Amino acid sequence: MLQELNYYKELDLVEIVEDIINLDSKMRFVAIIDKNGNIVETIMKDGKSSLKSQKEEEHFCKQVAQRRNMRAHFDNSLGQVRYVHVEREKLTQMVIYPKNYTVYFTMEPEMTIENKLQIINKIKKMTSHL
């Protein structure tokens, strides 16, 4: 486990998003976003097409950063956010909050909740140093 965590500390962001997108065949999209909402690194699964335009994706990532700031107001009373999970008809959206970045990723909605939770936990471990 410790060896696995040290492995990801040595990778650059491109390699991390590539490893995340390859966790499961039903993964669609991964973005690492800075605290201002700028996309720092992104990848789309081969063979998948984006459901949003590039401009919409950039706008959405800005909103993800704004929502992180809004949620932080409740950290003292409710505790820190572990992850955000949104189920839509066409895809599942997930967000996790490492210290300095936000990781936003999407997957096909047909996955079981247990499978989704396993993926979330793997990504949290992979990005815990960010």
In this model, does residue 4 exceed pLDDT 80? no
Residue 76's Cβ-side half-sphere holds a number of Cα atoms within 13 Å equal to: 1
Q: Are 92 and 85 in contact (CB under 8 A)?
A: yes
CATH of the domain at 23: 3.30.450.30
Q: Which domain holds residue 82?
A: 2-127
Residue range 76-89: mean pLDDT, rounded: 95
* The pLDDT value given to residue 29: 94
* The pLDDT value given to residue 40: 93
pLDDT by residue (tens digit) across 59-79? 888 999 999 999 999 999 999
Q: Which comes out higher in pLDDT, residue 53 or 129?
A: 129
Structure tokens at 62: 């800005």
pLDDT by residue (tens digit) across 101-127? 999 999 999 999 999 999 999 999 999
How many other CB atoms are found less than 10 A from the CB of residue 61? 22
In this model, does residue 53 exceed pLDDT 50? yes
Into how many domains does the chain fold?
1
* The pLDDT value given to residue 39: 93
